[in-house]
């Protein structure tokens, strides 16, 4: 594997996103424990709302990510984001009331909302064009690794110590990761160039072999190349709106399923240990889908592979609703993970590769911010079905429908603007390649 494919930037983004993935995806493992926690006496609808507040925070953080990265630099934005959501996890572990718990979950979301688009922008900038999807996937597979870690730890911590121990465990790794980021994470050459520090930018570009991958902007970006307005200039409006809808639907399914899968399978008659193991398999599927999907995207184009990911999520959830044998359920949950978390990681590459460097973090941040509406709605959406007494099949089919719609929106993106990471980009930041078959 080349230096560009797995560099210190990829390693540190992988570590940060692993921590973030744990913090975000562990919530589903503690839902049964929260429902059984007598001092708070929570009902399913309230637990769903507590799961959704992290999405509200992520929306706020993602909207602010572009401005923060432009003002502070991507390096400091990443470090601050990890520090913020890690401290908030510690607050969750000691929260004396549901209200304080929910406030801390909101802050976790703010930090995560800043981290994701900033990390994606860094990974794209520090990648080669012919391995771009794989490089971004290597970093963002950390979200699935974090979810896998949450699933494994939950099998021990939740039955033995309850939900608080899971939150405390999410804070501890930051004590190692943050010093490494401070010591070894470089600044974005694009940010340094924008600040007139061209010598420093050139040194970093040379060290990481970026000369062949730096986008040529034709001079200092104008005001129309920055901010949300830039997402609708140069004929980008239709694709921008499509990205927003795709991200919203993908995150609705991802967070809804991750939050309610253990509880849904528990209500279907599976013991707690088996129900929690489904969440572990879901996150393994996310890692497999991210890496496998990225390899296919670099070879065949990212649009058809993203479409396939949405369809995998829809079909697998619909088939789980038919209550097949337990061995088949595990396979289908694995495929569901490939189609949810794996598809969202592909979307980060899809979106980031489309926009020029001058508005890339903004494009990713706003798309993820809109997507956070799905993350907000997803847990509450599932909670409403549980509270209404809907059967397991109805609950699963309710999440299959948005995935089908997401596949349709992806198909309708103009073929002439399909992206493929193996080709050079134009000044608009998109890859002009033939429609993948």
Helix 326-354 to helix 237-267 angle (10° resolution) is 160
d(CA 122, CA 349) in angstroms, rounded, equals 11
Domain ranges of the chain: 8-417
**Which residues, other chains included, contact 136 with Cβ-Cβ below 8 Å and sequence gap of 6+?**
120, 123, 124, 127, 294, 345, 348, 349, 352
Beta carbons within 10 angstroms of residue 410's beta carbon:
27
CA distance 166 to 273: 15
- The pTM assigned to this predicted structure is 0.76
Give the pLDDT confidence of 48-84 residue by residue, as tens digits: 888 878 878 888 898 888 888 888 888 999 999 999 9
What CATH code would you report for 8-417?
1.20.1250.20
- List of residues 6+ apart from 421 with CB closer than 8 A: 129, 130, 131, 132, 133, 297, 298, 302, 349, 353, 431
Distances (CA, A) of 43 to 47, 93, 284, 385: 6, 20, 30, 13
Look at the chain and count its residues.
Answer: 437
pLDDT digits (tens, 9 = 90+) for 324-365: 877 888 899 999 999 998 898 899 888 888 888 777 888 888
Decide if 406 contacts 263 (C-beta within 8 A).
no
Residue 114 carries which DSSP code?
H
Q: Can you tell me the distance from the alpha carbon of 61 to that of 56, in angstroms, rounded to the nearest whole number?
A: 9
In the chain, pLDDT over 90 holds for what percent of residues? 28
Does residue 193 register a pLDDT over 50?
yes
Nearest CA among 197, 173, 134, 114 for reference residue 365: 114
Which of 162-176, 222-236, 260-274 has the highest average model confidence (pLDDT)?
Answer: 162-176
């Amino acid at each position: 594997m080349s230096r560009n494919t797995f560099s210190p930037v990829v390693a540190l983004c992988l570590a940060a996103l692993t921590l973030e993935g744990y913090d975000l995806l562990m919530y589903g493992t503690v839902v049964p424990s929260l429902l059984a926690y007598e001092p708070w006496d929570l009902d399913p609808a309230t637990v769903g709302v507590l799961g959704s507040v992290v999405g509200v925070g992520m929306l706020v953080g993602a909207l602010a990510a572009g401005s923060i990265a432009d003002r502070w630099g991507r390096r400091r934005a990443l470090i601050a984001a990890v520090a913020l959501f890690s401290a908030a996890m510690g607050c969750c572990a000691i929260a004396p009331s549901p209200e304080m718990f929910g406030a801390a979950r909101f802050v976790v979301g703010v930090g995560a909302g800043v981290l994701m688009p900033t990390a994606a922008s860094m990974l794209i900038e520090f990648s080669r064009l012919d391995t771009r999807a794989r490089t971004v996937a290597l970093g963002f597979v950390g979200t699935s690794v974090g979810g896998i870690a949450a699933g494994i730890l939950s099998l021990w911590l939740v039955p033995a110590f309850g939900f608080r121990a899971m939150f405390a465990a999410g804070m501890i790794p930051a004590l190692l990761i943050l010093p490494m980021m401070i010591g070894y994470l470089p600044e974005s050459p694009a940010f340094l160039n924008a600040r007139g520090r061209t010598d420093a930018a050139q040194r970093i570009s040379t060290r990481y072999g970026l000369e062949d991958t730096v986008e040529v902007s034709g001079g200092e970006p104008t005001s129309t190349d920055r901010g949300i307005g830039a997402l609708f200039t140069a004929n980008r409006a239709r694709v921008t709106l499509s990205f927003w809808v795709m991200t919203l639907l993908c995150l609705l399914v991802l967070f809804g399923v991750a939050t309610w899968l253990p509880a849904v399978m528990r209500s279907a008659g599976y013991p707690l240990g088996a129900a929690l193991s489904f969440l572990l398999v879901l996150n393994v599927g996310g890692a497999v889908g991210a890496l496998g999907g990225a390899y296919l995207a670099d070879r065949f184009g990212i649009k058809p592979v993203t479409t396939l990911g949405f369809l995998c999520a829809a079909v697998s959830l619909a088939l789980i609703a038919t209550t097949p044998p337990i061995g088949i359920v595990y396979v289908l949950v694995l495929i569901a993970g490939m189609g949810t978390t794996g598809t969202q990681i592909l979307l980060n590459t899809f979106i980031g590769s489309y926009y020029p460097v001058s508005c890339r973090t903004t494009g990713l941040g706003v798309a993820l911010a809109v997507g956070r509406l799905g993350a907000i709605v997803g847990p509450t959406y599932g909670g409403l079905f549980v509270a209404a007494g809907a059967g397991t099949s109805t609950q699963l089919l309710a999440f299959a429908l948005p995935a089908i719609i997401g596949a349709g929106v992806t198909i309708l993106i103009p073929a002439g603007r399909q992206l493929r990471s193996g080709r050079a980009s134009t000044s608009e930041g998109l890859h002009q390649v033939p429609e993948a078959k």
